[in-house]
Structure 1
Amino acid sequence: MADQLPEIELQDHGSKGRYVLRSPGGAEAEMTFTKVGEHKIIIDHTEVPDVFRGQGAGLRLVTRAVEDARASQKKIIPLCPFAAAQFRRHAEWADVLAS
């Protein structure tokens, strides 16, 4: 079912940004982040509206951030409770978890 979700869009606005999934009806699932220096980002908020519930949208947003962090050799500080829970469930993400 997650394969039917739209592509994730990265919106980078300097020191802040967000990953966004848009439904055909215009609803948005988002995960926001703040950059900390050159090598870290803080995931500070994840919001998934009802139209996306049960489709793995939140997990896809966090996974995309993990993939991007690996590609750019950055670390993630997951302050958002949802993102923090996903990091606890995915030990394979330890390489991008800020210590």
Structure 2
Amino acid sequence: MAADDDLTVTMDTDTHRFEVKLGAETAFAEYRLKDDTITFPHTVVPDAFSGKGVGGRLVQAGLAYAKDNRLWVKPTCSFFHAYIAKRPELHDLVHPDMREGLKVP
């Protein structure tokens, strides 16, 4: 089994996914680029990654890419949305059309 430090996020531009591999398993966050926006529609984290923080790493990598490339973020994936909603310091990355939905009850 790989150590948590070996779980590296890579960006696969062919499949439009940020990925982490562990043996035969792959965790991923899909993305779509259009103009000045990156949309994150879907994230999958298999049970093999449980408790390793892989979902958070995928979100962090996606947001870092958006920030580095000055892209607006549309977190349509519920995991991305929840992650960002809990962190007000990230709200300025979110496309203005989607910010109101980030309010946490």
User: Rg: which structure is higher?
Assistant: 2
* Equivalent residues in 2 for 1:62-73, closer than 5 Å: 62-73=59-70
TM-score (norm 2): 0.82
Displacement of 1:3 in angstroms is 4.5
Report if aligned partners of 1:35, 1:41 keep a CA contact under 8 Å in 2.
yes
**Counterpart mapping for 1:1-99 below 5 A:** 3-13=4-14, 17-23=16-22, 25-37=23-35, 39-99=36-96
RMSD over equivalenced CA pairs, Å: 1.5
Structure 1 pair 5–83 and aligned structure 2 pair: CA distance change class (3 A):
farther
Structure 1, unaligned runs of 5 or more: none
Q: Deviating runs (4+, > 2 A) in structure 1?
A: 2-5
Structure 2: where are the runs of 5+ without partners?
97-105
CA contact (8 A) 2:40 2:75 kept: yes
- TM-score by length of structure 1 reads 0.87
